[in-house]
Amino acid sequence: MSEINPIEGLDLLPQPIVIITVGDAEDPKKRNAMTAAWITRVSWDPPLVAVSIAPSRYTYELLKEYKEFAINIVSKRILNIALSVFGALSGRHVDKFSRAGVEPIKAKKIRAPVLKEAPIVIECKLIKTVEVGDHILAIGEVLAVYRNSDETPVVWFDDRPRELIQ
């Protein structure tokens, strides 16, 4: 067995690629989205998920203010904007939705915007944040889940996106 640097080794852990959306769907100055891969289910009852966010991010600022977020699963169709817009630009000074050429829609149970282009959307109410190293773990209770298409999610593995085989 050969030893691997821990940071490089963690890139070998497959992770879903998602776009976290927060804020007010109807106010371009108070909404944002960021691409994330550090996300997981943490409880069955109640249904809880957790996402890791750097505290310096505008997404985290809006998450603290609105206490809600949506998880938009990324498929191959929206992978490019997930990486080049939602994962590369700051929402403090640019409306990422406009830059990506997508029109956010209002979620079903929360104020946050969601992406109709996402094959699966998970709406959450923030219940707790925990400081973990250089990130904040945001834990949310799942309020609604719906499918917009049958497209297959993309995962992050070995330092790049990968398609799942069905």
Using alpha carbons, select from 99, 109, 108 the residue that is nearest to residue 148.
108
Q: Over 80: is that where the pLDDT of 166 sits?
A: no
Q: Where are the domains of the chain?
A: 7-157
pLDDT value, residue 53: 97
CA-based end-to-end distance of the chain: 31
For 7-157, CATH number out of 3.40.50.80, 1.10.287.610, 2.30.110.10, 3.10.20.90 equals 2.30.110.10
Give the pLDDT confidence of 45-90 residue by residue, as tens digits: 999 999 999 999 999 999 999 999 999 999 999 999 999 999 999 9
Q: Over 90: is that where the pLDDT of 11 sits?
A: no
Do residues 80 and 66 lie in contact, with contact meaning Cβ atoms separated by under 8 Å?
no
pTM of the full structure: 0.95
